[in-house]
Structure 1
């Protein structure tokens, strides 16, 4: 069986192969590669700059400090970068 596209008969096998190739190429190009941080800052530093958190009470401040300490320790153990 074939389809007529732009006045030419094209077999379904070629349409199938073209679709699979285009899908694979699209998936491959969307994966990209590892992209270095443009500023050289860690993820937590960029997040802190983008959305600073202000504590409303002493308990919240202690909680935020413990979370920041936990994240800093995790970055030290992981080498300071995420692996995607």
Structure 2
């Protein structure tokens, strides 16, 4: 079977291959570009997150919860650091 495009008969096989190659070229073109390396500031991930996301409590209950979470994370970090 073929389709008539601009007065010419084009087989469906060629239309299929053209579509696949065009899609592949579009994907390949969108993946290009300069890759930026993460900044080597010497800070750990947890330190950078703490700086980026300030945590402030609105009540004493929230403050207690935040302190318990911070203590839990500190203990987990110590245990994780000791095993490596």
TM-score scaled by length of structure 2: 0.50
Q: Which one scores higher on RCO, CA 8 angstroms, separation ≥ 6?
A: 1
Largest Rg, 1 or 2: 2
